[in-house]
Amino acid sequence: MAAENPPYFISDAYAGSIVYPPGGQYGPRIQNDLQLVLLHTGSMMIYVDGVAHQIPIGNVVFLKPGHKETFIFAKEEETWHRWITVTPESLSEKIVKEFESLPLYIPISDKMNQLTSLMLAIHRDHSEDNHDVINSLGQSSILLYMTECRKQYISKVHPAVLMAKEIIYEKFNEELSLKDIANESGVCSEHLIRLFQKHENKTPVQYLWHYRIERGMELLRNSGLSIGEIVYRIGFKTTYHFARLVKKHTGFTPTEVRKQANCLYDRSV
């Protein structure tokens, strides 16, 4: 059954990305909005109304208005997460009940990742003309979450793919071969390649390098680490290899990506 259009209007939506240092914490706070939190690295414990929830890496959390929340991040490493916040004008009792019936978190799909990246890219334009577009995408993200829950997204993805993704999220900064990923996922390399091509439209190794690039781009834009330190932290062996892939994916060098992010930050403060 296809999801219906959400029976509510929104006044604002935005997306963000942050890297918390080891030992980071946020809250307590009262959640006023609808919010999706995508956990990419590190760890995250969320207390919702005093109940602790350990969120697995590679999952997106759906937070609803009216609840008291506290976030506890990894003690020994950085934690990177992105989020989408949607401010509804009002919510009917029916839609509130439907939201509360959904699971707290599900695996991050490629569609959810792409939607979050698109919102962040549009935000970087700093154009007031994009307000309606961002609101529409924000509402679409909530609808996407609902749809993926209804389609039982988790059960449709082969367990070996979910396991492989978790391994990549946890060990992307280490030397990780296809054989290593396959062994820990409980299948042979050839079978894992076929599963990834079916579910992700790329091989496990391509998925790994794409994830490393994503992580590197976030560190370029949101940290003061040198390019050499970033290369070390995300599993590249040389700055040349990192620069080449960043150029291939974005059209810019790592230095240019960082300068662009700094210029946008200066314009926004």
The pair of three-digit structure tokens given for residue 100, joined into one six-digit string:
């509360």
E-assigned strand segments in the chain: 10-20, 25-30, 34-41, 44-48, 51-55, 59-63, 68-73, 79-88, 105-107
Residue-range domain boundaries for the chain: 10-154, 157-268
Is the pLDDT confidence value at 3 over 50? no
The pLDDT value given to residue 39: 93
Angle, alpha carbons 113-88-61 (nearest 5°):
35
Identify which of 57, 68, 43, 139 has the alpha carbon closest to the alpha carbon of residue 105: 57
Identify which of 36, 19, 15, 57 has the alpha carbon closest to the alpha carbon of residue 216: 19
The pLDDT value given to residue 121: 84
The pLDDT value given to residue 262: 64
Q: Tell me the one-letter amino acid at 58.
A: G
Poorest-pLDDT segment among 22-26, 200-204, 223-227: 223-227
Is the pTM higher than 0.75? The answer reads: no
CA–CA separation, 177 and 169 (whole Å) = 14
Residues forming beta bridges with residue 191, ordered by sequence position: none
Helix axes 204-222, 159-171, angle to 10 degrees: 40
pLDDT, tens only, 145-167: 998 887 755 556 788 888 898 88
What SS3 class is residue 253? Answer: coil
Quote the CATH superfamily of domain 157-268.
Homeodomain-like (1.10.10.60)
Query: Under 8 Å CB-to-CB from 38, ≥6 apart: which residues?
Result: 59, 60, 61, 81, 82, 83, 108, 112, 113, 116
Find the length of the chain: 269
Give domain 10-154's CATH number out of 2.60.120.280, 2.40.50.100, 3.90.79.10, 3.40.309.10: 2.60.120.280
Contact 13, 96 (CB under 8 A): no
Is the pLDDT confidence value at 266 over 70? no
CA–CA separation, 59 and 47 (whole Å) = 16
